[in-house]
Chains A and B, each alone.
Chain A
Amino acid sequence: MPIELKINGRIYQISVSPRKTLLQVLRDDLGLTGTKEGCGIGECGTCTVMLNGKAVNSCLIPAIRVAAWEITTIEGLSDGESLHSIQESFIRHGAVQCGFCTPGMIMSAKALLDANPHPNREEIKQAISGNLCRCTGYKQIIDAIEDASKK
């Protein structure tokens, strides 16, 4: 069925199966492969995007339900070569290893800092508690988000 999705400020008019999740549409239909799939059933947070400013697992969202909502994916954070301060902070603090959890982790961080520009470490931990990371051990990620909140 035809739907209109607003992603990263741009309107996409596409026809999708009603069974498809937002994650599948982003990756398969729109070629926005920055958002990754870690489990497909909402248990890892890898597919986190922002929906009207809130961090959500895009693998749990039927695409047809979010027409006309503001969707932000990792691709929407940087402007060509220049990166968002959260992205720069992740690089600076060594908060990226394999990088697979990184887009989802950054989106959760963005949602947090948009709503709460100066969170304490507990609030940071809470905001990313649904984002699994198997490589970094999280310490450098918390440092990165904390540092980004100071900019």
Chain B
Amino acid sequence: MESYIGQSVNRLDAKDKVAGRAEYGADITFPGMIYGKTLRSPHPHAILKKIDFSKAKKLKGVLTVLTANDVPGLNRHGEFIPDQPVLVQVGDKVRMIGDPVALVAADTEEVAEKALDLIEVDYEPLGVVGDIESALEPDSIRVHDECEGNVCGFPWYFERGDVEKAFAEADVIVEEVFNTPRQEHAYLEPESGVANINSRGEIEIYAAMQNPSYFQFSISKILGCSAHKIHIISPLIGGSFGGKCDISLHAHLALLSLKLNRPVKMVWSRKESFLASPKRHPTRIHHKMSATKDGRITGLKVDFIMDGGAYASHSPVVLIAMGGSFPGPYDIPNIKIAGKALYTNNPISGAMRGYGLPQAVTATECQIDALCRKLKIDPFEFRIINALVAGKSKPLPYLIEPIPFISLDSTVTLPQTLMKAKEIAGSLKKPSAEYKRTGRAICCSMPLFDVSAMPVFGMMGTNVSVEILPDGSAMVRSSAVEFGQGVTTVLGQIAAEEFGISLDKVNVVLGDTRTTPKSGATIASRTTYCCGNALMQAAQKIKAILLQEASDLLEAPADILFMKNNRVYVKESPPKGISMTELSERCYNKGINLKSESWFTTNHAGFGHTFMSKIADVEVDIETGKVEVLKLITVHDIGKAINPQLVEGQLTGGKMQGLGYVLMEDMITKKGGILTPSLIEYLIPTVEDLPEELHNILVEEPYPTGPYGAKGVGEFGLDTVAPVILNAVYDAIGIRFTKFPLTPQRVWEEIQKKQKDSNGEGIDGSM
């Protein structure tokens, strides 16, 4: 193979996965393993008065029952605000349905389940803060007693220019209130794992997580024990999308295992996963935008509120990420954005693919659609007119001194992605029946990815190690985790390329605090960029050593040597060279170290950025309200696709999650309870929902600081799907939906209203 970079090589983990050999948390067993279950609050808000587990303890097969009294250290966790209890203490409050109050360990899962029913708990129910409106009421009950106004953390605010003046002088203004729904990750693998005490008396926790070193730190505080005796190992993860960033069953496993000195397994039911795992924040967005008659956006004012649920989780940072995403890829001189996250007694809101950007982009792109229609300006033209310009546009919100949030010193490829999307889209189909309407829309976004410029979860920088073994094969080690996005394969490809060895000679070891260096969390679409760069830096050091040794052996200067096909060659005369096997062995015999780590950080920008455009064609059945997506096209600037097939997979998968978000995923809550806690009530897309035509086109504008020019991609497929479909529906039937999902019922009801208002005249698009 000429080069591994840009090749859609088979995933390194695919064989195990298709053969059923791949090991996830629930597949791990140890001799003498017992089973744990969690007793959870049935109340969304109540004082925990008393727990009596005497009957449970007497049940044959039950080995122990634990409560908050059994937490040796800090009974709290939380990445940004540690406000979430490991187990709720008697005298304290439960703040959501599903809050854990006790743990049971038993010989079998069945006995553990039975034991839960025998634990008698007294609660004193309190008033429920069931939504944003309730949380905002001046005399609202407080979810956390110390948090005035139910505000989680601090409100966020940004201002530039004079937005009121811009509005006063504007030729056109659009103003709208959007309500975005709560979205469930719905990864196929429910939370599960095993804790074991190893032969040295140290706790090992095997369970999916997106940040092993943070979990190690957090659990050491919970157990009141030194971090160096706590080992966190992430098995393969059956999907995550941000939902496995928080401590879920990890501390519970550790507590039970330590108490009994036995391996313990816990597997959450799907319903438990629905109740207790974090979700995408529902938000209410009051969005106002002004423009001149020739299509220049002059002002943007946003007031937004997020329903953070019972505990902080990622709310403090999603708040900032969302707030800063409203201006998008547009150059807007006058801005005023204010937002806050509120506590409610709803399920926790936390990290989910997009991290606040999907909500913000939905509002802005729908408003731009409205502006285009008012001004009668082509939506492509409008977006190009307003696009940021490298070297000219002012830095975007959330300036974090001293690093400007966005550096626009690389190309703004928004116009290319727009024009490419237009070119590919062809023409909109005519409706397939007289009771159907078709419509099309275009949307853009500027997704961001972490570049290791700022601390994340208390850790700055990315560390990846690479080692050439005596036989010329390679070990790559990183604390990144594999949840399907393909990090194992991408790092493998980079190592193989750097050393000129075949991919089957590279072993990528991930996610183990015992052996892998700290690479930061696997979040924020950062892994290819940060871990890729760290790996390349580490590889460069070893390459230099190997080439120096080869240079001595081959009696040729190092700068005319190259590594390919598991050999080191002299450039001018191919037959002269030495195999990597022989070279490595020689180095080892001479005592030369062939292992290196690298600590990658950057300061060229606070975050990396890229651009994408989407076009959607929809067909709406006005008799049933059903919205069908005929075409969903994405043009994405990836910088460089190290593995194009993996990039496609991320974009297609993200798009289908976005399709679910806007068309069908409806987590209905009432007074803190989820009315749809199963996969038959909370519908996620099946194969039947795949659009007739779904295309991903990659623009490869090399990113100067990216590994081989690569940018991030993981979250981005999802971002603009909601607004592009909302706008396409408007194009089809002339109804502006500011609330979704667009279930057939919701669409049908609005169609009825519109027909009634217009005295039974036809439903048509507006352009």
Contacts and interface: CB of A to CB of B under 8 A. Distances in A.
Interface of A: 17, 19, 27, 31-41, 43-44, 46, 73-75, 77-78, 83, 87, 90-92, 94, 96-103, 106, 125, 128-142
B2 interface: no
Contacts of A73: 20
Contacts of B569: none
A93 B393 CA distance: 42
A90 B16 CA distance: 12
Contacts of A131: 687
Contacts of A31: 29
B18 A102 contact: yes
Interface in B653-693: 653-657, 678-680, 684-688, 690
Contacts of B27: 27, 33
Contact of A98 (B16, B236, B270): B236
B734 interface: no
B653 A96 contact: no
B390 interface: no
B188 A98 contact: yes
Nearest to B190: A38
Given A39-B678, A40-B269, A142-B690, A94 B19 contact: no
A94 B8 contact: yes
Contacts of A36: 24, 26, 188-189, 238
Interface in B198-243: 236-241
Interface string B1-42: 000000010110111111111111011010000000000000
Contacts of A141: 687
A78 B188 contact: no
A134 B648 CA distance: 15
B744 to A, nearest CB: 18
Nearest to B239: A98
A94 B646 contact: yes
Interface stretch (B324-332, B405-413, B478-486, B548-556): B478-486
Contacts of A135: 239, 484, 649, 653
Nearest to B659: A137
Given A41-B678, A96-B11, A139 B187 contact: no
Interface residues of B, number: 59
B367 interface: no
B269 A83 contact: no
Top 3 A-B pairs, shortest CB-CB distance: A34-B20, A100-B238, A98-B484
Contacts of A125: 687-688, 690
A93 to B, nearest CB: 8
Interface in B59-109: none
B150 interface: no
Nearest to A124: B687
A100 B188 contact: yes
Contacts of A128: 687
A50 to B, nearest CB: 13
B645 interface: yes
A42 to B, nearest CB: 9
Nearest to A76: B20
A138 B484 contact: no
5 contacts: A94-B648, A98-B239, A99-B16, A137-B649, A139-B694
Interface of B: 8, 10-11, 13-24, 26-27, 29, 110, 185-190, 236-241, 267, 269-270, 483-486, 645-646, 648-649, 652-657, 678-680, 684-688, 690, 694, 717
A133 B18 contact: no
A45 to B, nearest CB: 9
A87 B236 contact: no
Given A83-B15, A99-B17, A136-B652, 17 more contacts: A38-B270, A43-B678, A75-B19, A96-B11, A96-B484, A97-B239, A99-B13, A99-B14, A101-B188, A103-B18, A125-B687, A131-B687, A134-B185, A134-B684, A137-B653, A139-B690, A141-B687
A43 B680 contact: yes
A74 B19 contact: yes
Nearest to B689: A138
A91 B10 contact: yes
B188 A132 contact: yes
Given A90-B18, A134-B657, A100 B679 contact: no
B16, B18, B267: which has the most chain A beta carbons within 10 Å?
B18
B236 A99 contact: yes
A34 B17 CA distance: 9
B679 A39 contact: yes
Nearest to A101: B188
A106 B18 contact: yes
A142 B29 CA distance: 34
Given A74-B19, A83-B15, A134 B188 contact: yes
Contacts of A139: 652, 690, 694
A135 B353 CA distance: 12
Contacts of A97: 239, 484-486, 649, 653
Contact of B11 (A32, A94, A106, A134): A94
Contact of A83 (B11, B18, B656): B18
B723 to A, nearest CB: 19
A79 to B, nearest CB: 10
Contacts of A142: 687, 690
Contacts of B188: 36, 38, 44, 46, 98, 100-101, 132-134
Contacts of A75: 19-20
A52 to B, nearest CB: 20
Contacts of A46: 188
B239 A78 contact: no
B679 A87 contact: no
Nearest to B189: A100
Nearest to A90: B18
Contacts of B684: 132, 134
B239 A136 contact: no
Given A37-B26, A103-B20, A138-B656, A98 B688 contact: no
A137 B688 contact: no
B19 A83 contact: yes
A99 B238 contact: yes
A149 to B, nearest CB: 16
Contacts of B237: 98
Contacts of B11: 91, 94, 96
Given A35-B20, A43-B678, A132-B686, A137 B484 contact: no
Interface centre among B188, B269, B685 (most CB of A within 10 A): B188
A137 B189 contact: no
Contacts of B679: 38-39, 43-44, 132
A129 B686 CA distance: 6
Contacts of A32: 20
A17 B189 CA distance: 25
Contacts of B686: 129-130, 132, 138
Nearest to B678: A43
B392 to A, nearest CB: 37
A140 B19 contact: no
A34 B22 CA distance: 8
A40 B109 CA distance: 14
Given A99-B13, A134-B657, A40 B270 contact: yes
Contacts of A130: 686
Contacts of A37: 26, 190, 267
A129 B484 contact: no
A86 to B, nearest CB: 8
A41 B240 CA distance: 21
